[in-house]
Amino acid sequence: MPVHMGIMCDRCQRVHFIATSPGIEFLQSVGAMYRLRCKPPCAEDRVFRKDEMRPYRVSDEAFRRGYADEGEYEPLPGIENMSPRADPEAS
Ligand SMILES: [Zn+2]
């Protein structure tokens, strides 16, 4: 399955994809900030930064829809968790 950048809703654990979700809006006036409005019945409405996005492995179908519910996506390890010491060739 392909990998896409998304942002997870803290309330309902639904992942929204930046490229396709109608609930994500780029806020040009405040720099690199985005606004996430989750789908009803979830009432989440918050602003997040680009670096809060994470890669998720999802089906093309979920990506085209704009979001994936819990169980439909697989989070990938974040780049921030990879330290040089985790490189197997260094040990
Ligand atoms: Zn939500």
pLDDT of 90 strictly over 50: no
User: At residue 65, what is the residue type?
Assistant: R
Tell how far the Cα of 80 is from the centroid of ligand 1, in angstroms: 25
Q: Which of these, 1, 17, 14, 2, lies nearest to 54 by C-alpha position?
A: 17
Report the run of H or E that residue 16 belongs to, with start and end.
Answer: strand 15-17
pLDDT score at 80: 53
The Cα–Cα gap between 70 and 9 comes to 10
Distance from the CA of 79 to the center of ligand 1, in angstroms? 25
Cα-to-centroid distance, 24 and ligand 1 (Å) = 12
Q: How far is the CA of 31 from the centre of ligand 1 (A)?
A: 24
State pLDDT tens for residues 21-80. 999 999 987 678 999 999 999 999 999 998 899 999 999 999 999 999 999 999 997 555
Task: Indicate whether this model's pTM tops 0.85.
Answer: no
